[in-house]
Amino acid sequence: MESIITIKELNFSYSPGKQVLKNIDLNIKKGETFGIIGPTGAGKSTLLLHLNGLLTGEGEVRVDNIPVTKKTGPEVREKVGMVFQNPDNQLFCPTVFEDIAFGLYNSGFKKEEVKTRVEKMLKKLQLTELKNLSSHHVSFGEKKRISLASVLVMEPRVLCFDEPFANLDYSSIFNIIKEIKRLDMTRIIVSQDILLVLSICDRVAVMNKGEVIRTAPAEIIARERTLLKETGLDYQPYLDIINKGCGGPPRGQGISHL
Ligand SMILES: Nc1ncnc2c1ncn2[C@@H]1O[C@H](COP(=O)(O)OP(=O)(O)OP(=O)(O)O)[C@@H](O)[C@H]1O
Ligand SMILES: [Mg+2]
C-alpha cells in the first residue's frame, strides 16, 4: 500500500543538548489506523507535531509527497488535521458552532457552504443541541467531540489524535472509538492506553527515549511481552487484576477464601 507519510532520519531538540527525537524513520500508509505508544516523555506528542509542520526538525517529513517545512505548513495543515489532547487548546470561539466553522471561514469558504457543512457535522457527532453554547460551558467529553468536529469538518486526508481517550468515561471512549473506526482517512493515534491502541490500530510504532524502537502490526506487538515490559508498557498486570484481583484471592472466592 502507498505511503501518505514518510519520515526519514528526523532529529529534533527543543533546546541545545537535549535531543528529543532521534533518527526517526517511519512510513504511514494511506487509509491505515496507525498507533504510536511509548512511556511518558518518549517524544510521541513531539513527533505528532512534526506531521503538520507545527514543529520542524532536521531530516525529512513528507505528507502526500510534499516536504513539510515552515513554508508548506499551511498547505500541509489542510491535509493533516490534529486533535490535541487538551480541547481547551483547540476551542476559542464564542460558540460551539463558530468553533467548528472557524477553519472553514479561514480557508475562504462562503457563509452558506460553511453553514451546511457545520450543521452536518453537528448532527453527525450529536452536538446540535450544544451549537449555541460556549465550548467552555460544556463537559470535557463534549469538548473532545467538538474538537474532533472542528478538525473533521475540514475533511483532512490524515487525522492525528493525541491521547484521545485520556480523562474520558468508558461510554465516551467507545463513542470516540466508533467515530475513529467509521472514518476512512488515515488515522494516527498517540495514546498511553496501550490496550485500546493495540485493539483498534492496524500497525503500531513503539517509541522510547526519542527513538522508534519497533514498528509492526498491532497483533504482533501485543505478543512482544519482553519489549513491552522493557518500555514499561506491559498490559498483563491489568489483565491479572481483572482475572485475579489486586493481590487478593481469585475472583469469586470472596472472604471465605481468607
Ligand atoms: N515545549 C517544550 N519545550 C521543551 N521541552 C519539551 C517541550 N515539550 C516537550 N518537551 C520535552 O520533550 C520530551 C518529549 O516530550 P513529549 O511531550 O513529546 O513526550 P510524550 O511521549 O508525548 O509524553 P506523554 O506520554 O507524557 O504525553 C520530554 O522530555 C519533554 O519534557
Ligand atoms: Mg504526549
pLDDT digits (tens, 9 = 90+) for 194-217: 999 999 999 999 999 999 999 999
- For atom 27 of ligand 1, the residue with the nearest CA is 40
Please tell me whether residues 103 and 136 are part of one structural domain.
yes
pLDDT tens string 132-163: 999 989 999 999 999 999 999 999 999 999 99
- 107 close to 101: Cβ distance less than 8 angstroms: no
Give the dihedral of Cα atoms 17, 231, 188, 176; nearest 10 deg.
-130
Pocket probe for ligand 1: among 12, 13, 14, the residue whose CB has the most ligand atoms within 8 Å is 14
Rounded distance from Cα 111 to ligand 2 centre (Å): 36
- For atom 12 of ligand 1, the residue with the nearest CA is 20
Rounded distance from Cα 40 to ligand 2 centre (Å): 7
Cα–Cα distance for residue pair 126/111, rounded to 1 Å: 22
Mean pLDDT over residues 84-91, rounded? 92
62 exposure class (CB count in 10 Å sphere: 0-12, 13-18, 19+)? middle
Q: Would you say the C-alpha torsion 233, 239, 241, 244 has a positive or negative sign?
A: negative
Please tell me whether residues 182 and 243 are part of one structural domain.
no
Please tell me whether residues 145 and 212 are part of one structural domain.
yes
- 122 close to 78: Cβ distance less than 8 angstroms: no
pLDDT at residue 1 greater than cutoff 80: no
Rounded distance from Cα 2 to ligand 1 centre (Å): 30
Please tell me whether residues 109 and 45 are part of one structural domain.
yes
Q: 216 lies in which domain range?
A: 3-223
Please tell me whether residues 98 and 159 are part of one structural domain.
yes
Please tell me whether residues 21 and 134 are part of one structural domain.
yes
pLDDT at residue 26 greater than cutoff 90: yes
- Ligand (nearest to CA of 14): 1
Supply the CATH number for residue 57's domain: 3.40.50.300
Which of 55-59, 129-133, 183-187, 238-242 is least confident?
Answer: 238-242
- 134 close to 109: Cβ distance less than 8 angstroms: no
In total, how many domains does the chain have?
2
Minimum-distance ligand 1 atom for the alpha carbon of 210: 14
Please tell me whether residues 99 and 200 are part of one structural domain.
yes
State if residue 17 touches ligand 1 by the CB under 6 angstroms criterion: no
Please tell me whether residues 58 and 108 are part of one structural domain.
yes
Name the residue among 157, 96, 90, 149 with its Cα closest to residue 125: 149
Rounded distance from Cα 43 to ligand 2 centre (Å): 7
Please tell me whether residues 30 and 52 are part of one structural domain.
yes
Rounded distance from Cα 46 to ligand 1 centre (Å): 6
Please tell me whether residues 191 and 218 are part of one structural domain.
yes
Cα–Cα distance for residue pair 76/70, rounded to 1 Å: 10
Please tell me whether residues 131 and 240 are part of one structural domain.
no
Please tell me whether residues 45 and 76 are part of one structural domain.
yes
- 72 close to 108: Cβ distance less than 8 angstroms: no
